[in-house]
Amino acid sequence: MSNSNQVRQSVSEFYTQAVKSESGCGCGCGGGDAVPKGFAAQFAGYGDDVAGLPADAVANSFGCGNPLAFSEVKPGEVVLDLGSGAGIDLLIAARKVGPSGRVIGVDMTDEMIARARANAAEAGFANIEVRKGIIEDLPAEAASVDWVISNCVINLSPEKDRVFAEIARVLKPGGRMLVSDIVVQDVPAWVRESMALYASCVAGAVSEAEYVEGLRRAGLVDVEVRERYLYDFDQVRALIESEVPAEATASCCGPAPSSCCGGDTAPIDAAAIAAEVAQKVWSAKFHARKP
């Protein structure tokens, strides 16, 4: 198996466990072991957008923002969600596009796909389709969607340039992208090389500048950061403590296998890591357009 496939498998195993567990954390969560399910959605700033949605979709929200907040998505349009998880953003998108529009989710984790389909059925949306696939090779036709959205997923990809190229491929001319994601700046190498911190959205994240350059290299225009949410020491510490269970530290082999296997099996010192990365990790919302 290639190194990239190993990373995807490891991430998928992590999210299979996360959706089955009682705590509600994923990327961008904060609050430690006592975090109730649904906390992540509050932290991501959904507000009234989640009113009336199935509780399971809200409880299993693992995002770090609300990509569709203040968006100009219109009835009848087609929205594609990369890494749709349990489906919270699919449901919000389905409300916006209405019965004449379509919403497609793509995820690689069976457990997540099943949840998203069940949540779409419970909410009564017949215009949501969830496809199994990887975001580096999207199961979607070229120039077929008006909007690409994603919430805290691209940081998890070991092949971000492939993802950016796929976004450019599937968007219709004039189509737009709204992505909430974790970015980092000046994080030390030992943090970036930790597979234990990879699935919790810290170690695989790139800088805002790298993100913007990657989107532009893919041929997208009007690339800009529209919102930022900076995590403080307590939030980063809570994120790490709630995200890195012992079994996650033991399952390794990430982008830097020589430094992960073995090294990550030592107990994680969340406070030390938080002290190192607080003010260097934030959630950003990126906008881009296909010319």
Q: What's the closest the beta carbon of residue 135 comes to ligand SAM, in angstroms?
A: 4
Q: What's the closest the beta carbon of residue 58 comes to ligand SAM, in angstroms?
A: 10
Give one DSSP letter per residue of 51-88, joined into a string.
Answer: TTS-HHHHHT---SS-TTTT----TT-EEEEET-TTSH
Listed in sequence order, the DSSP H helices in 124-188 are 160-170
Q: What's the closest the beta carbon of residue 247 comes to ligand SAM, in angstroms?
A: 17
Nearest to 27 by CA among 151, 161, 169: 151
- Dihedral (Cα; 39, 42, 43, 48), 10-degree rounding: 170
Q: What's the closest the beta carbon of residue 8 comes to ligand SAM, in angstroms?
A: 5
Q: What's the closest the beta carbon of residue 173 comes to ligand SAM, in angstroms?
A: 25
- For residue 132, the number of C-alpha atoms closer than 13 Å in the C-beta half-sphere is 8
Amino acid at 98: G
Distance between the two ends of the chain, CA-based, in angstroms? 37
Q: What's the closest the beta carbon of residue 225 comes to ligand SAM, in angstroms?
A: 19
Give one DSSP letter per residue of 22-45, joined into a string.
Answer: SS--STT--SGGGPPTTHHHHHTT
- Tokens 């934030």 belong to 282
Residue 164 corresponds to which tokens in the numbers above? 């950016």
Which residues sit at the interface with ligand SAM, rule CB under 6 A? 8, 11-12, 15, 26-27, 61-63, 83-85, 88-89, 107-109, 112, 134-136, 151-153, 156-157
Closer Cβ to ligand SAM, 27 or 268, answer by number:
27
